[in-house]
Amino acid sequence: MTRSSRPLLAAVAALAVPALLAAPAGAASRSIPDAKGDVHQGVDLEKVTVVYGQKWLKIRTQHRNLVPLPKYSAGLSVFLDTDRTDPGPELRFGGGLMDGTDYSLATADSFAPSGDVTFVKCDYRMRLDYDRDVARIRLAPDCVDEVDEIRVSVKAAAEQGSLRAYDWLGEKRSWWAVSRG
């Protein structure tokens, strides 16, 4: 490689990286940073990215020091507001942040847990990547009634005996809107 081709190569690489990280065509996305280090356990939220497209609603949570077998229980709740005329969430996606845990999507009337759970029948999944400290959630459009805008509120939690730690994205129970692309 000649010296004169290096600047050109660097310019091409600089343009290519943002293009590779961009949301898919026809999808709207939003990345919301969270305060780092406000929770000591590995559930500390650092950033949440929401991509809302025609095929999937994708939610990616970035954590600090996510581990497969922590010394405590760790979980994630993503509350979804699909109807602005009805206060509070309509759906709650919940899942464990450690190996061997399950996940589910259920209807919700509030942020508080309910004893009466109605699971939503649609295509969704959750994947954990401990090397990258990331949880990835995908929901099919029919999971969220294919609305034009959705609001999300995210809470990570850790419990060890009587000790509990919660990390909300932003302020407690705050909403972040994303329009469908």
Q: How does pLDDT run across 75-109, given as a tens digit for each residue? A: 999 999 999 899 899 999 999 999 999 999 999 99
Domain annotation covers residue 41: yes
Residue 42: the pLDDT is: 77
d(CA 142, CA 26): 17
Residue 108 inside a domain? The answer is yes
Q: What is the sign of the dihedral through the CA atoms of 31, 61, 158 and 150? A: positive
Exposed/middle/buried for residue 154 (C-beta within 10 Å: 0-12, 13-18, 19+): buried
What value does the mean pLDDT take over residues 135-153?
Answer: 94
Question: How many residues in the chain?
Answer: 181
Backbone angles phi, psi at 21, to 5 degrees: -90, -10
Q: How far apart are CA 166 and CA 162, in angstroms?
A: 13
pLDDT tens for 21-35 read 444 556 799 999 999
* Range(s) of the domain holding residue 142: 27-179
* Assigned domain for 113 exists: yes
Q: Cα separation of 167 and 157, whole Å?
A: 6
Domain total for the chain? 1
Taking the complete model, does pTM exceed 0.75, yes or no?
yes
Q: Report the mean per-residue pLDDT for the chain.
A: 86
| Residue 10 located in a structural domain | no
Is residue 10 over pLDDT 50?
no
- The CATH number assigned to the domain holding 160 equals 2.60.40.1190
Confidence of residue 18 (pLDDT cuts 50, 70, 90): very low
Which one is predicted more confidently, 1 or 137?
137
